[in-house]
Structure 1
Amino acid sequence: MTRYLKSLLTLFYIFGSASSYAEPVLWLAQKGQQQLYLFGSVHLAKPDIYPLPSRYLDLFDASVRLVIETDVRNFSAEDQKLMLSLVRADADQDLQALLGDARFEQLQQIAQQLGLRGQLQAYQPWYLAMLISMQQIKSLGYRASEGLDLHFIHRASDQQKRIVSLETPAEQIHTLSSLESIELELLTQTIDDFDKVPELFGKLIQHWQGGNHQALYQLLIDDPMYQQEQPEVINKLLFERNRNWMDTLSTLQGRSFIVVGALHLYGEQGLLTLLKEQDFSISEVTP
């Protein structure tokens, strides 16, 4: 796996891994009358990840609320303005000088292939790397409209179930902008590894459907960004958010169904560990 491209994919499009005969993993964190069902999300997917296990859907239907990272339907004009202010390129940005002639030529070819050529000078390098990755994955047939977040948002809306967001769109935008500190390496790796993404992404989706959370977490700990090369970035993107979310999760009463990016669940600073530290019992739900 590559250094920063792998982090970009696994942190923002989030998957798991395992055998082709298993199911995605659903966890139960319970303390007294509090029941938190935690499902690691695939944010972009194809229709073939459905149907989900009927037991999972039954547990969702019996929950009093859906909890998600943020409700993408609430992206306001103010959020759009904030996003543009953070991603817009500086007036004197020169990508060719930053990348060198050879990589800049590669970037132009990639942009042409993805229909982004006219946008190269419009955005800062960190956002351009994200845009390229997102457009490439979309070109492979994966859509946010097929992701688990929207799937459960629509199901909750149909049932008039309460939807709780763990963070606002503005908070999520500011989190993503922390990639600015590694933006040149991020864009360079995105260019260099462009041809590897289809196979990588396909394998990751297959792995998520398998439900092997140990292999999922291994994707994170194998990455140099996790291994203290860029600790402030991984902390901002993942662990700080986990700690912030606990303020809400630990106080939810009754039965809640929680859908967040799968990498938020695992490891010493993952949600499952943080909940266990607050005396929740943790168990895997049988499909």
Structure 2
Amino acid sequence: MKFPVPAFMLAFALALSACASAPVAPVQTVDPASADPALWVVKDEDTSIYLFGTVHVLKPGTVWFDDEIGEAFDKSDKLVTEIIEPEAGSMTAKVASLAIDLDGPPLSEKLDADAKAKYLAAMTTVGIPYQALERYKPWMVGITLAIAPLGKLGYDAELGADKVLNAAAKAAGKSIGALETPEQQLGFFNGLPEDQQIAFLNATVDGLPDVDKDFGELVNDWSAGNPEGLADKMNESLEATPELAETLLFQRNQNWAGQIKTMLDTPGTIFIAVGAGHLAGEKSVQDYLKALGIQATRVPHHE
């Protein structure tokens, strides 16, 4: 199965959806859909750490925060996510400081003739004047294009698992931590060589016609608790874009595994929530934990 937009790249773009300026269109509530996402746990004598893979946008009515996931969250003293999302104005300033290129040529002039024609057509399709983004770096425009269609397809960032968990942690008075800073996350993309940024943008453009089907299948695998399915969909894109995979996925997974090992030194229970792609396939967080001598065990599902 071909995924023109590498699955892990789309997931990471969604993690940074707060950086994009396009508003999410309001959607109608649908009948509840039961989801049973995967959950893992690592333990020692006095510490339990749950690992939960999230989807950053979901459709209204998706029911997932129950059963073993709800129980694990309730037992946890602390929630840890990829980042602690800053205030909107602060995030806008952080993006502007990194994503705007005032010195180079306009974005459309950085693309070859064929890629430029496809890009301009894609911008028309999603309803964004290309002139408005001419001074942005390719990675930022790729993120904007990746998430632009999802609101019209019924997905809502406010219903993403990360936001729901953060709200629940605040309501319950749990402490909240993060594995990275917003500056670090933005820096992963901003630090990519320009040719890789353009490759990401071109892949996003090529994948737009299939985004409903492709992203829907990713969400279905997540809902079914099927990390193997997520991994299968990622494999082709990982092979096709090894440099991006190393920067945006593998290095971060390895770093997070080291942080989790350190967390085991402090007694208590922690609920870690990161994008589902980080917990699927080879070189997942679980694989790097295993290399450190730490076994992550899948928590059995129960009704």
The normalised TM-score by structure 1 is 0.85
Show the 5 A alignment for 1:104-183. 104-117=116-129, 118-179=131-192, 180-183=194-197
**Quick one: percent identity of the two aligned structures?**
28
Deviations 1:51-87 (A, max 9, x none): 433231122011111111001145673x543421321
Deviations 1:187-217 (A, max 9, x none): 2232233211111111221121011111211
Distance 1:172 1:35, change over 3 A: same
1:17 aligns with none
Q: For 1:60 and 1:261, locate their aligned partners in 2 and report how far apart those are by CA, in whole Å.
A: 17
1:245 aligns with 256
**RMSD, aligned CA:** 2.6
| 3-state secondary structure, aligned to 2:151 | helix
| 3-state secondary structure, aligned to 2:48 | strand
1:212 aligns with 226
Distance 1:2 1:231, change over 3 A: same
| 3-state secondary structure, aligned to 2:228 | helix
> Which amino acid in structure 1 is aligned with residue 251 of structure 2?
E
1:257 aligns with 2:257: no
1:58 aligns with 71
Please state which structure has a larger fraction of its residues in helix: 1
Unaligned runs of 5+ in 2: 16-32
Q: For 1:157 and 1:199, locate their aligned partners in 2 and report how far apart those are by CA, in whole Å.
A: 34
2:18 aligns with none
Deviation at 1:34, TM superposition (A): 1.7
Q: For 2:139 and 2:53, locate their aligned partners in 1 and report how far apart those are by CA, in whole Å.
A: 25
Q: For 1:7 and 1:283, locate their aligned partners in 2 and report how far apart those are by CA, in whole Å.
A: 23
Structure with higher RCO (Cα < 8 A, 6+ apart): 1
Equivalences, count: 278
2:213 aligns with 199
Deviation at 1:120, TM superposition (A): 3.1
Q: For 1:6 and 1:57, locate their aligned partners in 2 and report how far apart those are by CA, in whole Å.
A: 27
1:189 aligns with 2:203: yes
Distance 1:188 1:231, change over 3 A: closer
Q: For 1:176 and 1:184, locate their aligned partners in 2 and report how far apart those are by CA, in whole Å.
A: 11
Q: For 2:246 and 2:89, locate their aligned partners in 1 and report how far apart those are by CA, in whole Å.
A: 27
Unaligned runs of 5+ in 1: 15-19
Q: For 1:182 and 1:269, locate their aligned partners in 2 and report how far apart those are by CA, in whole Å.
A: 21
Distance 1:53 1:109, change over 3 A: same
1:286 aligns with 300
The normalised TM-score by structure 2 is 0.81
Deviations 1:11-49 (A, max 9, x none): 4448xxxxx997211111112222111110101111232
CA contact (8 A) 2:79 2:169 kept: yes
